[in-house]
Amino acid sequence: MKLLFVVDPLPSFKTHKDSTFAMMREAARRGHDIWACEPHEIVWHRDGRVQARCERITLTGHPTDWYTVAEEAALALADADAVLMRKDPPFDAEYLYTTHLLSQAEREGARVFNSPQALREHPEKLAIMAFPQFIAPTIVTRDIEAVRAFHAAHRDVILKPLDGMGGAGIFRVKDDGLNLGSIAETLTRDGTQTIMVQRFLPAIEHGDKRVLLIDGVPVPFALARIPQGGEVRGNLAAGGKGVAQPLSESDLAIANQLGPILAARGLLLVGLDIIGDRLTEINVTSPTCFQEITDQMGFDVAARFIDALEARLKA
């Protein structure tokens, strides 16, 4: 099969931990053709189909010079057997425009994973609000006085932008309220940008768990990203330590409840973030942690993913 990955620049991949690379490697092992493009290479001409300037790549097995370009071509997205949208956040206007181009490609017959409509409808932090039974007290607002009132009610809170990734822009304000006004003004850009505020979860000391759902079915192991050095952020990009572990009963309860719902909405791959027994994010753009779980637990996440992709394409 011809698989087209819409990705960040290939030279930027850290192949020892990159989940998209793990997908490519497993797909190539099965004999599938690997094509790649960046979002800015997707074009739609009047009276034409959505296409992209693409490279067909061959994996070398080398850790740094990990691919060679076997072919360059303009490829209509509908001519690929599957298009895998794996561009990292931020979920900004350009990302949104790319999903609209992918939706047009779908109308032309392309099979896109995750569904571009589902990507648009599940902004990663806001999406948890549809499942209030699983989340901590939370408010989404750009009203600074509403932020102050939320802090007054809960005393120890986390503030974060809606479009961040890797722990960027996350602040904790404790009971003393130190710098709450300044942080709220900065994150909301003086009340012009919406943010999320949540009650602080002390269970973060045991890790921010990434639970992967593949076609609605949970991978049996999570990666707990444990804060280091006095940090409140467990994100690996913020220096967190990744420790794989079996899913807990509460992890399974959340995953089994959300899995079928999200799969039915066109989300083949989802990364749930769970602290303690509370859901904190639903990651749909380019969920990661494949290689860390595989390396530590011996469970081949990429193989499970390609199995699910092949099953969807045969359906």
Which residues participate in catalysis according to the annotation? Answer: 125, 160, 210, 225, 233, 273, 281, 283
114 in Cβ contact with 20 (< 8 Å):
no
User: Phi then psi for 312, rounded to 5 degrees?
Assistant: -65, -40
Give the gyration radius of the chain's Cα atoms.
20
Residues 6+ apart with CB under 8 A from 19: 286, 287, 288, 289, 290, 291, 301, 302
CB atoms within 10 A of CB 246: 10
Q: In sequence order, what E strands does the chain have? A: 2-6, 33-37, 42-44, 50-59, 67-76, 82-85, 112-113, 138-141, 157-161, 171-173, 195-199, 208-214, 217-218, 221-226, 241-246, 269-275, 278-283
- Give, to the nearest 10 degrees, the angle between helix 290-297 and helix 19-29: 70
Residues 6+ apart with CB under 8 A from 124: 89, 91, 281, 282, 283, 284, 285
Report cis status (omega within 30 of 0) of the bond before 287. no
